[in-house]
Structure 1
Amino acid sequence: MRTLNLGILAHVDAGKTSLTERLLYTAGVIDHLGRVDSGDTQTDTLALERQRGITIKTAVTSFVTGSGDRARVINLIDTPGHPDFIAEVERVLDILDCVILVISAVEGVQAQTRVLTRALRRVGVPTLILVNKIDRAGARTDELLAEIEARLRVAVVPLSRVEEAGSRRARTIAYASTDPIFHDSLVERLSRGDDQLLDDFVADRHLSAGRLGASLVSQTIRCQVCPVIFGSAITGAGMDQLMAVIADILPATEPVTDADPSGVVFKIDRGTRGEKIAYVRSFGGRIAERDMVTLLGSDDRTTQQKVSRITVFDRAGEPTGGPLEAGRIGKLWGLAEARIGDQIGTGARHRLDHYFTAPTLETVVSPVDDADRGPLRVALDQLAEQDPLINVRQDDAHGELSVCLYGEVQKEVIGATLLTDFGIDATFSESSTICVERPVGVGTAVEFMRDAANPFLATVGLRVEPEAGGSGITFDLEKSVHGTMPVAFFTAVEETVYETCRQALHGWQLIDARITLTHTGYAPRQSHAHQGFSKSMSSTGADFRDLTPLVVMAALRSAATEVLEPVHRFRLELPAALLDRIYPVLAAHGAIPQPPVTDGTVVVMEGDIPAGEVHGLEQELPSLTRGEGVLDSPFDRYRPVVGRPPERRRTDRNPLDRSEYLLRATRGKGARI
């Protein structure tokens, strides 16, 4: 049976979870419609989700549509809409076959809608747009379609129209292929991406429903167009047509059973006894209980793990056992070493990529009871399994633990989770901005073995040079360094380079840099006469791991780095009468607004604001605008810091202080011969 892994994505409060509930109800899987505000939906199962009325964790549920050869399993992946939990969305983009992008008919295109659309274009996931909440006062239709095309830069193909929009009687009318106006409109829209379609139309002046439908399916799959359905997840308007589009237009996966098992881990959870549970999307082959599977990490670590239990999502339930077939999503027990992004199998690449920026805020987490300091680290490590981007950071010198954040709501959720799930009452420092560093020029450095200043039996030379924005860190080998040196020593240098780049000259993560290994040298395995292998005479991996940070920092000093701060792009709507009051507040938060656009009694203003000032502006806005101001502020870019660059306290052995570093690195190792 074919499978369609269908993501539900949207800005917060656009109606994703309500849509998931409605689709399950329409498919006959559930006989009662749960509501977000009642806390009884199928996918928002966490107590925190029910208390707050928002989705925090990605959830999977399933139903079957069609019969016979047309039968297909639909896995619905409900994702968070709040920007603080964008990492949950990122982790599912690579496992999806298609997406329903939900847009409110009232609020229209919002900040998160634009962020998600950009990511979907990068990934190339076919997208269907549902304009939801047509029953709410202020619902828009034709005007909203123009807004979607203009602001999201996508080609839309509306498949229905709305009658009595903005009332509880709102209903949708599907366009008929026999309608000449719809026929010509469809030809006009589809011919932009199908030259043959235009030629056929010019020749015949009328195209069959089958010909138009085939072109619509083809262009949807190639992400050239986005079909649009109007509806209401609350009243059920338009849901039958939506189900038909899911069955007839969106592409399902044909199972590849005659292949080695392959898949990807996209979510980690913990069971009631603390056991690790890996959520896996299977791409090929078959995984059964008691099978040994190969886990390949993004850092190229490889482990063999035995699957002890499997459940597969099916009809909103999880039957015990398996197997996990190609195309399906299941939960696997026994993979104790599994991490998010791990690939199952060593064949085709199925690792997860990054499509959104890393968190731009960090905070220090401290237990209220000092006796909880050890358990706090364990708890944070488990939370980092589920969300690696919180990046738990331990400063042993000052006895502090810190985590990275997308926003203040995420901080509140982490605090509540620590208390409810682990029994740890914790406090958080005021959030601070996470900057980054990038090289300004080209820098080189080399440390030669047996030089008086180098106590390690290793030669390492590196060149650092800037790369294009968004390229991260690239590690290369100069052709001249290939030789007889053991592969393990090359690996030690590469791994240490990446680790060292987490704290560059000013303590921030290095980005947009190419680092090339230019010199190598080692001492072959030697021993004293009639004795075994001697570390004092032969190079070890530790020599390269200890020396590399010194060379990285010397090369960075030669290149010089600049510190960049994260900047958000804000869009502020407020009553026109309050415009004069907002300028001094924006200036106080370091925001740089563009000229406002007035639409009747409402003003729309866009501009830049430092990431660290967003929360402060959010807190002031309600009282400043009498609750009528609406602020969207997604991350936009990094920009160079003006003035003295901020420093981040180091948590490593500080290779910038050579004498202290060498003292720590060589302590207890004895002298070299």
Structure 2
Amino acid sequence: MDFRKEIERRRTFGIISHPDAGKTTLTEKLLLFGGAIQEAGAVKSNKIKKGATSDFMEIERQRGISVSTSVLAFHYKDKKINILDTPGHKDFAEDTFRTLTAVDSVIVVIDVAKGVEEQTEKLVSVCRMRHIPIIVFINKLDREGKDAFDLMDEVEKKLGLSVTPLSFPIGMGYDFQGIYNIWEKNINLFSGDSRKNIEETIAISDLNHPDLDQLIGAAPASRLREELDLIQEVYPPFDRDAYLEGRLQPVFFGSALNNFGVRELLDCFIDIAPPPRPKESDTRVVDPQEGKMTGFVFKIHANMDPKHRDRLAFVKIVSGTFERNRPYIHVRQQKALKFSSPNAFFAEKKEVVDVSYAGDIVGLHDTGNFKIGDTLTEGEQLNFRGIPSFSPEHFRYINNADPLKAKQLEKGIDQLMDEGVAQLFTLEMNGRKVIGTVGALQYEVIQYRLEHEYGAKCTYENFPAYKACWVKADDPKNEEFKEFSRIKHKFLATDKFGQLVFLADSAFSVQMTQDKYPSVKLRFTSEEI
């Protein structure tokens, strides 16, 4: 198969939602329907021994939440599908924001009872800003929840989307009987037996046929006909171009836990979702069909396999083909690198691949060359834009709780900071280490991983800072900068890359510093100077 056809058959997408909407469960069921796994796992259950495939870190299994994006690949109906299952919890949102730079489309999962929640609003606003095509999946229909029309209104108002349903529920909660698939014109009947992999599907091309009354009862059939008439009047017909441009969002209904409505979602998804899309760089727009390889690092993960202490850089291939043992230029470091064992992913399972195509996610073993946002090319000098970096909002001193494990602690902190989960600052006044994170739950994850992956123990103390401000002086030798350094000495630190950072204790302090020392520039995101 030629390389253009290989690129056309790829579908790389992210699954996003508020915590507990059923994102990871949906991922499991997509893998199940795709034939990639034989039995779906549970995100958190005492009865089911098998854990979710995408929640492979031990802490994820214990807490029942995703704390890190996982990558899963499988084949379905001649399409190569790459799923990026993202964390929903706001404390891990920066991992999700970065992942959204590597996807070509997204599926947003919404809980039928809770409707649109805060984290969903934030994530969808990022997708809309980047014109990423969105499919909405309204989940947990086997539970009592909001009316389907009310939910679609809420999605339109709160998320600023323009929706059109491609499936519709027959009843809800206790009265839930199944789904009418508007896209395929058939009915999927619900038995309520989650052990069944695939439910009964009956083709219904004519809704006025008496067979419908026999299948679901006269009253529900009459109500379904009325609702479908209303849909035709109120919602626009599906237009694939409008969907691809981010102007129209199809809606599906189902119950991921009961394998219900998932096959309909997957079948429609592979028909309408975009193949790899062009991406903007600092010099030009890069098209996936170009012959030369380009790609960028959107995630780094230490200890994918704790036995081997390996560190993997996740690279989204933007154009061309990535070949094993072929040299590529690391643009930031200006050096050629070869990779003898590039990995394809199935959560924590990995396999070495000889060739990967635009749209694929490749894991590269890294000895410390990469940081998030780095670009690989065949020689062209370009960098991909829009890989966000965040200013921490929580700050704590980190202390070594086991003096015999100082080296392990240092190595562990060093590697975990490279993942972008947190930032490390060393105070100039006394050399003490301060960790800054976007969410407070990150501290628990860092502590857990240091102990279980590196054998090091740590404790924390609060550090009174409001924001990290990266400092750039017009002239580091002038009197104004010297006075700033003297007055603010106990709040100055250096980050991992040796850049000067002002750990301001309040918004007032930031404002006063900017007013008093105009030649000292403060920025709220780190970039290498």
CA distance in 2, matches of 1:227, 1:87: 26
CA separation of 1:308/1:396 partners in 2, compared to 1, >3 Å: closer, same or farther?
A: farther
Q: 1:280 aligns with which of 282, 305, 315?
A: 315
- Aligned position for 1:60: 71
CA separation of 1:375/1:63 partners in 2, compared to 1, >3 Å: closer, same or farther?
A: closer
- Aligned position for 1:482: none
- Aligned position for 1:36: 43
Moved more, 120-129 or 287-296: 287-296
CA distance in 2, matches of 1:232, 1:245: 16
- Aligned position for 1:79: 86
Instruction: State the 1:351 CA deviation.
Output: 2.9
Structure 1 counterpart SS, 2:115: coil
Structure 2 counterpart SS, 1:234: helix
Matched ranges for 1:129-278 at <5 A: 129-167=136-174, 169-175=176-182, 176=185, 185=231, 189-190=235-236, 213=238, 216-253=239-276, 256=288, 259-270=291-302, 271=305, 272-278=307-313
Alignment check: 8 A CA contact 1:502 1:510 kept: no
CA distance in 1, matches of 2:437, 2:455: 21
- Aligned position for 1:10: 17
Alignment check: 8 A CA contact 1:130 1:230 kept: yes
> TM-score, normalised to structure 2's length?
0.75
Q: 2:374 aligns with which of 296, 317, 342?
A: 342
Q: 2:338 aligns with which of 301, 306, 315?
A: 306
Structure 2: state its 5+ residue gaps.
1-5, 186-204, 208-224, 278-286, 482-494, 525-529
Q: 1:376 aligns with which of 396, 409, 419?
A: 409
Instruction: State the 1:353 CA deviation.
Output: 2.2
Deviations 1:243-275 (A, max 9, x none): 122111111228956522111112222343223
CA separation of 1:315/1:77 partners in 2, compared to 1, >3 Å: closer, same or farther?
A: closer
Instruction: State the 1:98 CA deviation.
Output: 0.3
Instruction: State the 1:20 CA deviation.
Output: 0.5
CA distance in 2, matches of 1:360, 1:265: 24
Instruction: State the 1:101 CA deviation.
Output: 0.6
Alignment check: 8 A CA contact 1:505 1:557 kept: no
Instruction: State the 1:340 CA deviation.
Output: 1.7
CA distance in 2, matches of 1:560, 1:404: 26
Could you tell me which amino acid in structure 1 is paired with residue 501 of structure 2?
A: R
Instruction: State the 1:289 CA deviation.
Output: 2.0
Would you say 1:502 and 2:501 are equivalent positions?
yes
Would you say 1:48 and 2:59 are equivalent positions?
yes
CA distance in 2, matches of 1:150, 1:275: 45
CA distance in 2, matches of 1:432, 1:113: 31
Deviations 1:219-241 (A, max 9, x none): 11100011110111011221122
CA distance in 2, matches of 1:504, 1:375: 27
CA separation of 1:383/1:146 partners in 2, compared to 1, >3 Å: closer, same or farther?
A: same
Could you tell me which amino acid in structure 2 is paired with residue 292 of structure 1?
A: P
Could you tell me which amino acid in structure 1 is paired with residue 294 of structure 2?
A: S
Could you tell me which amino acid in structure 2 is paired with residue 40 of structure 1?
A: G
Instruction: State the 1:318 CA deviation.
Output: 3.9
Alignment RMSD (CA, Å): 3.8
Would you say 1:23 and 2:22 are equivalent positions?
no
CA distance in 2, matches of 1:407, 1:60: 23
Deviations 1:188-239 (A, max 9, x none): 644xxxxxxxxxxxxxxxxxxxxx55xx110111000111101110112211
Instruction: State the 1:319 CA deviation.
Output: 3.4
CA separation of 1:34/1:563 partners in 2, compared to 1, >3 Å: closer, same or farther?
A: same
Q: Whose Rg is larger?
A: 1
Alignment check: 8 A CA contact 1:277 1:332 kept: yes
- Aligned position for 1:323: 355
Could you tell me which amino acid in structure 2 is paired with residue 253 of structure 1?
A: P
CA distance in 2, matches of 1:354, 1:287: 21
Alignment check: 8 A CA contact 1:263 1:350 kept: no
Could you tell me which amino acid in structure 1 is paired with residue 69 of structure 2?
A: T
- Aligned position for 2:486: none
Structure 1: state its 5+ residue gaps.
191-211, 455-459, 461-495, 513-552, 567-673
CA distance in 2, matches of 1:221, 1:501: 43
CA distance in 1, matches of 2:413, 2:265: 41
Deviations 1:105-147 (A, max 9, x none): 1111111011101111122211111011111233542211111
Deviations 1:346-381 (A, max 9, x none): 548563525585331111110112343443222111
- Aligned position for 1:411: 443
CA separation of 1:410/1:161 partners in 2, compared to 1, >3 Å: closer, same or farther?
A: same
Alignment check: 8 A CA contact 1:437 1:510 kept: no
Structure 1 counterpart SS, 2:251: strand
Instruction: State the 1:419 CA deviation.
Output: 0.9
Structure 2 counterpart SS, 1:219: helix
CA distance in 2, matches of 1:556, 1:374: 42
Alignment check: 8 A CA contact 1:93 1:123 kept: no
Q: How many aligned positions are there?
A: 446
- Aligned position for 2:115: 108
CA separation of 1:350/1:103 partners in 2, compared to 1, >3 Å: closer, same or farther?
A: farther
Say which structure, 1 or 2, has more relative contact order (CA 8 Å, 6+ apart): 2
Alignment check: 8 A CA contact 1:284 1:325 kept: yes
- Aligned position for 2:329: 294
Structure 2 counterpart SS, 1:319: strand
Could you tell me which amino acid in structure 2 is paired with residue 156 of structure 1?
A: V
Instruction: State the 1:434 CA deviation.
Output: 2.6
CA distance in 2, matches of 1:241, 1:505: 52
Identity percentage of aligned residues: 25
Matched ranges for 1:328-477 at <5 A: 328-333=360-365, 336-345=368-377, 347=380, 351=384, 353-354=386-387, 357-387=390-420, 390-395=422-427, 397-430=429-462, 432-435=464-467
Moved more, 80-89 or 239-248: 239-248
Deviations 1:296-334 (A, max 9, x none): 23xxx4232121212224799643332222221121225
Structure 2 counterpart SS, 1:393: strand
CA separation of 1:355/1:144 partners in 2, compared to 1, >3 Å: closer, same or farther?
A: farther
- Aligned position for 1:99: 106
Alignment check: 8 A CA contact 2:434 2:463 kept: no
> TM-score, normalised to structure 1's length?
0.60
